[in-house]
Chains A and B, each alone.
Chain A
Amino acid sequence: RKEVEQDPGPFNVPEGATVAFNCTYSNSASQSFFWYRQDCRKEPKLLMSVYSSGNEDGRFTAQLNRASQYISLLIRDSKLSDSATYLCVVTYSGGGADGLTFGKGTHLIIQP
Chain B
Amino acid sequence: DAGVIQSPRHEVTEMGQEVTLRCKPISGHDYLFWYRQTMMRGLELLIYFNNNVPIDDSGMPEDRFSAKMPNASFSTLKIQPSEPRDSAVYFCASKDRRRLSSPLHFGNGTRLTVT
Contact = CB atoms under 8 A, between A and B. Distances in A.
Interface in B83-99: 89, 91, 95, 97
B interface, by DSSP: helix, strand, loop or mixed? strand
B100 A43 contact: no
B55 A102 contact: no
Contacts of A31: 100-101
Contacts of B111: 41
Given A43-B91, A43-B109, A46-B105, A97 B33 contact: yes
B18 interface: no
Contact of A43 (B33, B56, B106): B106
A20 B56 CA distance: 35
B113 to A, nearest CB: 13
Contacts of A46: 103-105
Nearest to B4: A43
Given A44-B106, A45-B106, A96 B56 contact: yes
A interface, by DSSP: helix, strand, loop or mixed? mixed
Interface of A: 31-32, 34, 41-46, 49, 87, 89, 91-93, 96-98, 100, 102, 104-105
25 contacts: A32-B101, A34-B103, A41-B89, A42-B108, A42-B109, A43-B109, A44-B106, A46-B103, A46-B104, A46-B105, A49-B101, A89-B104, A91-B100, A96-B48, A96-B55, A96-B56, A97-B33, A97-B50, A97-B56, A98-B31, A98-B97, A100-B45, A100-B95, A100-B104, A105-B43
